[in-house]
Amino acid sequence: MSNLDAYRSKAAAWLESVRPTFGKCARKGLSEADDLALGRRYQKAKFDAGYAGINWPTEYGGQGLTHLEKVTFEAEEMKHGFPNAYFGISLGMPVPILMQFGEDKDFVRERVLKALQGEEIWCQLFSEPAGGSDLAGLRTRAETDGNGWKLNGQKVWTSWAQYSDYGVIVARTDPNVPKHKGLTYFWVDMKAPGVTVRPIKLAGGDSHVNEVFFDDVKIGDDHRMSPVGGGFAVAMATLMIERYVATDSGGFGPHLDLFIDLAKATDFGGKPAIEDSRIRQQIARNYAMRSGLDAITARAMLMMQAGMTPGPEGSLNKLVSVRSRQKLSELAIDLQGSSGFAYDAHGFVKDNWTNSWINAPTGRIAGGADEMLLNTIAEKILGLPQDHRPDKGVPFNQIPA
């Protein structure tokens, strides 16, 4: 048994042991406040057991292991529906970037330890009404104010901002230069005067994304995490931090076996649906597609084990898997007839087809919309020419809005 296999079985055994306390059965019917409280306890249990900050430096409370152990743990963890979503962004991007770019090491260490133990949450304030795929088009301003800065503007789609203690934010500090060059990166206290968070209700009924407004929010220059005008590079570092996170060829939706069970149990024209050639074709197509994606993931893991960096083919994963999860979920709902519409507000996307279907569109936007992934594939894998960029080199304040 390789070291990684041994690590996987130890992690799987630990996860199994905490499943009754924190797994999806324990969460069923909880209010979001109670679920968050359970999530904080789960995060603390992970920290105590040595499964938090797996690939982070030990001086910051991490385990000092590699990215491979982290991805291996996450792949096992995602099988059980633990309440870990509240910490996904926080520990995924803002806190690692704080470790890398935060100046005051004592402050950074304190924040990291609290975040790792689920006591504090960080959000990522990048997207705006006019700056999503085109992040450098953002309009939130940071203007000098005494020895510090004053923030004004609006962010949108900020995950978990309503529970966040801190956030990392990119703001425009110079509108007179081309759009990528006039941005600066800061951290901000989400409880500071002038910060207003307004949850947005999604189709599935939950409100984990928010609008965040900044009205004359004062921040010190010690909140700055990039050179003035050098914020885009730190924003890119944030987005690239872990290009290879745990993937799921099922698009983070139900396992194909669940579809097969449904097709066996459902009557379709007097016979079990599994006997219909069109249903069998869909099962075969999905199986082939998922096997292809699993092969790409397996190759990426082997490359990382060999000390290499996986290539841009990782962008195929989310694009293909979430799209097909959406289609398969739709077919599963159709098979169930009108009962397919019954919506369980406490259902889980990994075993409830209706929840899976209604949540799939957000998966096709968050973390890079389908069309942006297609652009990446076109440019980085197929070597096609770059997308047309008419505002390249034009000072931001001369770009028509």
Residues that bind ligand FAD (CB under 6 A): 89, 123-124, 126-127, 132-133, 157-159, 209, 362, 365-366, 369-372, 375, 387
**Residue 398: CB minimum distance to ligand FAD, A:** 20
**Residue 91: CB minimum distance to ligand FAD, A:** 13
**Residue 347: CB minimum distance to ligand FAD, A:** 17
**Residue 276: CB minimum distance to ligand FAD, A:** 34
Residue number of the CB closest to ligand FAD reads 132
CB closer to ligand FAD out of 63 and 362: 362
CB closer to ligand FAD out of 282 and 321: 321
Locate 275 and state its tokens. Answer: 């006997």
Locate 293 and state its tokens. Answer: 């994606």
Locate 134 and state its tokens. Answer: 């085109």
Contacts of 141 (CB under 8 A, 6+ apart): 151, 152, 153, 171, 172, 173, 175
| Residue keyed to tokens 């004592």 | 106
CB closer to ligand FAD out of 125 and 258: 125
Helix (H) or strand (E) holding 67: helix 67-77
**Residue 138: CB minimum distance to ligand FAD, A:** 9
Contacts of 295 (CB under 8 A, 6+ apart): none
**Residue 95: CB minimum distance to ligand FAD, A:** 13
Other Cβ atoms closer than 10 A to 195: 19
d(C-alpha 39, C-alpha 41), whole Å: 5
Give the number of C-alpha atoms closer than 13 A to the C-alpha of residue 260, restricted to the C-beta side: 9
CB closer to ligand FAD out of 272 and 367: 367
The SS3 call for residue 206 is: coil
CB closer to ligand FAD out of 256 and 366: 366
Q: Residue 313: name the closest of 393, 225, 247 by CA.
A: 247
CB closer to ligand FAD out of 4 and 366: 366
d(C-alpha 187, C-alpha 206), whole Å: 27
**Residue 185: CB minimum distance to ligand FAD, A:** 13
The SS3 call for residue 83 is: coil
Determine contact, residues 90/31, Cβ cutoff 8 Å: no
CB closer to ligand FAD out of 169 and 296: 169
